[in-house]
Amino acid sequence: MNINHIVHDLFHENRLGNKALELRDGQLVYGKLTKLFPQQMAEVQIGAQKMLASLTIPVTVDQSYWFQVSITDDKPILKVLTQANEVPTEKENMTGLLQQLNLPNSKENRMLLHYLLSNNLPITKEAIGNIREWLPSSFGKQELATIGLMLERELPLTKEVFSSLSSLQSDKGISVLIEELHSSFLPIK
The confidence band for 17, taking pLDDT boundaries of 50, 70 and 90, is very low
Mean pLDDT across the chain, nearest whole number?
75
pTM: 0.58
pLDDT tens digits for 133-185?
888 877 888 888 888 888 888 888 888 888 888 877 766 666 776 776 677 66
Q: Cα–Cα distance between 92 and 80 in angstroms, integer?
A: 18
Which residues pair with residue 80 across a beta bridge? 67
Q: What is the pLDDT of residue 18?
A: 47
Residues 6+ apart with CB under 8 A from 105: 95, 98, 99
Residues 6+ apart with CB under 8 A from 54: 40, 41, 72, 75, 76, 77, 78
Q: Under CATH, to which class is 25-86 assigned?
A: mainly beta
Segment 43-55 shows an average pLDDT of: 81
Segment 6-23 shows an average pLDDT of: 57
Long-range contacts of 59-64 (CB under 8 A, 24+ apart): 59/33, 60/33, 61/33, 61/34, 61/35, 61/36, 62/32, 62/33, 62/34, 63/32, 63/33, 64/30, 64/31, 64/32, 64/33
pLDDT tens digits for 110-121?
888 888 877 877
Give the residue range(s) of CATH 2.40.50.140 domains in the chain.
25-86
For residue 86, is pLDDT > 50? no
Q: Of 128, 133, 101, whose CA–CA distance to 112 is shortest?
A: 128
For residue 93, is pLDDT > 70? no
Q: What is the pLDDT of residue 16?
A: 44
Contact 131, 104 (CB under 8 A): no
Segment 84-103 shows an average pLDDT of: 62
Residues 6+ apart with CB under 8 A from 173: none
Segment 33-61 shows an average pLDDT of: 83
Beta strands in the chain (DSSP E): 28-37, 41-46, 49-55, 64-72, 75-83
Instruction: Provide the b/e sequence for 16-46 (b: ≥16 CB within 10 Å).
Output: eeeeebebeebbbbbbbbeeeeeeeebbbeb
Q: Cα–Cα distance between 113 and 107 in angstroms, integer?
A: 10
Contact 127, 95 (CB under 8 A): no
Segment 101-111 shows an average pLDDT of: 81
For residue 1, is pLDDT > 60? no
Q: What is the pLDDT of residue 14?
A: 46
